[in-house]
Amino acid sequence: MTQNVLFHIILMALGIVVLLGAGFVGKTDKGGKKLSTHKALAGIGVILVLAGAIGLVVTRALIPTLPHFYIAVVAIVFMLLTLIGGLLYVKAVPAKKAALRKSHRFDAMIFFGLAGLAAIFGIITLLAMRR
């Protein structure tokens, strides 16, 4: 179980760092010149986070009674909402783009907040399990 949890931690940490990079690229991009870089980084980050979550389910190392689990599920939902909002933004008519961009950014902020909270609860859980 220790290897599964370590693999989970590595994938999640890498995914969050890549998603933070995608957010930085998206925030500093003026005029959509780096949109393909933003989308590629976001896609890689989402895949890493989902792989980290699915890895625990497949290896049966998941403990769905912990607060970390519930916070992480809500964070993943907001991550997917952010992804969907970004994809809709690219395809939207110009009149709808401002609202979609605001929603996309707000969902991303909620995701990062929840991901940080989930990481804190994960660390607390890990420390409690080691005792």
pLDDT the model gives residue 1: 61
Question: pLDDT averaged over the chain?
Answer: 92
Q: Is the per-residue pLDDT at 68 higher than 80?
A: yes
Q: Is the per-residue pLDDT at 117 higher than 90?
A: yes
Q: What is the DSSP string of 80-130?
A: HHHHHHHHHHHHS-HHHHHHHHHHHHHHHHHHHHHHHHHHHHHHHHHHHHH
Could you tell me the CA-to-CA distances from 56 to 5, 7, 15, 68, 118 in Å, in that order? Answer: 7, 9, 15, 13, 15
In this prediction, residues 71-78 reach a mean pLDDT of 96
| pTM for the model | 0.91
Most distant CA pair in the chain, distance:
56
In this prediction, residues 3-27 reach a mean pLDDT of 93
Domains and CATH numbers, the chain: 2-130 (1.20.120.1770)
Output the six-digit token pair for 86.
């970004």
Could you read off the pLDDT of 47-58 as tens digits, one per residue?
A: 999 999 998 888
From the list 49, 50, 27, 51, the residue with the least C-alpha distance to 38 is 27
3 state SS of 39 = helix
pLDDT the model gives residue 63: 79
Output the six-digit token pair for 6.
């370590």
Q: Is the per-residue pLDDT at 25 higher than 90?
A: yes
